[in-house]
Structure 1
Amino acid sequence: MAYLLFAIMKFGIDFPVGTLMDALQWILVLGFFFRQKTEKNWKIFKGPVSVMILIWLLYNFIEVANPSAESRLAWVYTVRTVGVVMLMYFIFMFHIRTVIFIRFILKMWILLTLFAALYGLKQEYIGFSAGEEAYLHSDPNIMSLLFIDEHWRKFSIFSDPVAFSYNMAVSSLLCMALMTGAIKAWKKILLGVFIFIFLWSMLSSGTRGAYVLVPATLILFAVLKYNKQILLFSVGAGVFITVMIFIPTSNPTLYRFQSAFKPSDDASFNVRKANQKMIQPYILSHPLGGGLGATGAWGQRFAPNSFLAHFPPDSGYVRVAVEMGWVGLLLFCILMFIILKTGIKNYYRIRDPELKAYCLAMVLIVFAFNLGNYPQEALVQFPSNIYFYLVVALINITYRLDIEKNGPVYGGI
């Protein structure tokens, strides 16, 4: 539902689909607590990741009392989405109990990505639909964001090119990790074809931040899965990317790809850098920040005359620092560190080859989303926000299933 949300909206259905998504999540949360009356399985709340997520949720709720906040309504609208989405981690932890279920989820993920990738290529080589054309020309601001160098940035079935490109990037990493598992040769070839299609489609988005994600994450991939084949693959990929970066070209898509690796030559990057420098004194003087929803659409709606309402964060980390202060940024970074640390630790502990490949995929995706959260806001839009907490849950679920299959590691945890 999260993946197809904006595709449904494109059909012009006059229905609050976003509200339906909120309702579905709340129903799942309520269902979880009803199930706990009989099962009483509170083990999912144990462990460093679960504890940090609860601490982060608590901090989000404490922000309602932030004395610097210009609007409590902005907090209500923001925490409604942020808080419920984070609770999905516990829903996934509770309900995903078999390897078969994980296989089903990952197959569905790849098939949905394939559909989105092919639709993005359709936009690139055939053109936009009439409804999409009307949307693109409905607002001058949309045109200024999506029409770059005489070329439209593609967004496929997503809300914007950033969500599109990030999903293509992390899905290609998913396929790369799955190829390391004990699967048949034809499946590895098929996954390789999917990777090519996903990355080809990603280029049409024109999102510079996404172009860096796969090459940078391949470094972690080579470190975690260190062997001759992976090393040769990484070196080959590095040489290919280097050639792509420095080869002379007049192609606007390839030129934009090259500019992602030369940020000092990018005017938009320099503007963001200047904005971040400008806002630093505010962040340092406001340890709790300006309140949830102080920037962006909710800030402009509920506190249009405030200092932060028209500040463009242009980064997930900067938004956290501005709205929740340096205290919030510190907690957020600790949360991400613990997730990655737990994922890497579980990867080396898991003995089942299939579960090991799944855990590796999840670690790479978490790493990529965190890299992407600096130049853009990677974790706030559907389906990335739902997928992220699914990925985090699978890091723990794969290890739990391995223990159930092969017994405790090192005498127990």
Structure 2
Amino acid sequence: MQDLNNIIVELSELNVYTGFGYKLNIPYNYVVYFEKEQNKELSLYIRKNYEALKTKFASIDLNFIYQPLVMCSSKNLEEVIAYYFPQLNYYQIPNLASKEYSEKVIKQAVRVAADGIDEILNKDNFIPSKIDSDELLNLLDYKGNIKSGLLFFNMRHGAIGVSDFFNTNSNHNYELFFEEALFYLTPEKEDFALGDFSLDLSFLPNYSEQLDDDTKELVKDIENKLAELKDNGQILFLIPILKDLLNKQSEKIDFKSISKMEINSQNKIQLQYFKKEVELSHLTKAIYFLFLKHPEGINLKELGNYRKELLTIYTSVSNQLDFDKMAKSIDDVINIETKAIYTHLSRIKSAFYKIMDASFAKYYIVSGSGEDERIVLFNTKDIIWNNYDLFTPDML
């Protein structure tokens, strides 16, 4: 094994769980430079060799983050927060976070520009500004003794600093420091990465209906935007802003909470707490209302038993005047051999996935697979029906 003379390793119980769920936890593959006390030489070495260092860390699947050079942008930030944390819409936090983040981006750009000018004008005696790491260290709850170095999260959590041996060596070759740090952080073959990818997805129902193409594209786009926030290190600026905004709220936000549902007199489906409207076509909406009215679940093979009720709902919801045509549409839906019901269940699923992450959408869609019993997991007691009486067969 290689002798590690130039680094000192300090294992710590870093707080990588942000409280916002796994979507915004500190990524397992981050290696972040920090300073409790300014280390001019090390910081300057990183600035001059930043791209080469990022490439070396990437070769062992790690993402090296040097905060002063993180390229920040507030574009799409509000959209990402609102999608993965719909309950924050009630407090207007996505919008507030985007505004505060924009201000931070401007300040970051000014600092980088100022340092860039100083470096050009003073090539030989340029001194990089001290890196303000207090926000990061408080976020991670770091209580170690290393004054400057690297925070890591891949195998275990901890920090890597400059050793006494390195400090007594007049050469101060930081290439050796990073060489040993990379060697230490290189996982053994039997090791496996923990963090974002150690997810238990067993809570997700097994669906036979697929998302429509538009929804797949939208979800993929949102996922890519979140990945970009993580890949370029912007998440380290965003999380403290979100925490600060939530601390200012008088009410505690439960990130596992879901919204009550209101169906108004125009048959619009509103998720009050999320401040979202779920848009469905008239026939698909009628089918969704049928499942909401039967929290015990419905076996698709027995849909024929609900023909009269479904037709009653559809005539109340639809603006069509051709009763025979509406009846024909209902007959197609309840005939399992036409597979029309699966198309509508897919549309219901897609409608919710367009406005929120799967971890919340799963409560509202019609869960199940094949021809077996289908059920909406949402507690129907939390539905405010303004037109429930119109959906009873006796009205037909």
What TM-score range do you get, normalising by the shorter chain?
Answer: under 0.3
**TM-score computed with the length of structure 2 as normaliser:** 0.27
Q: If each structure's strand is expressed as a fraction of its own residues, which one has the higher value?
A: 2
Structure with higher Rg: it is 2
**TM-score computed with the length of structure 1 as normaliser:** 0.26
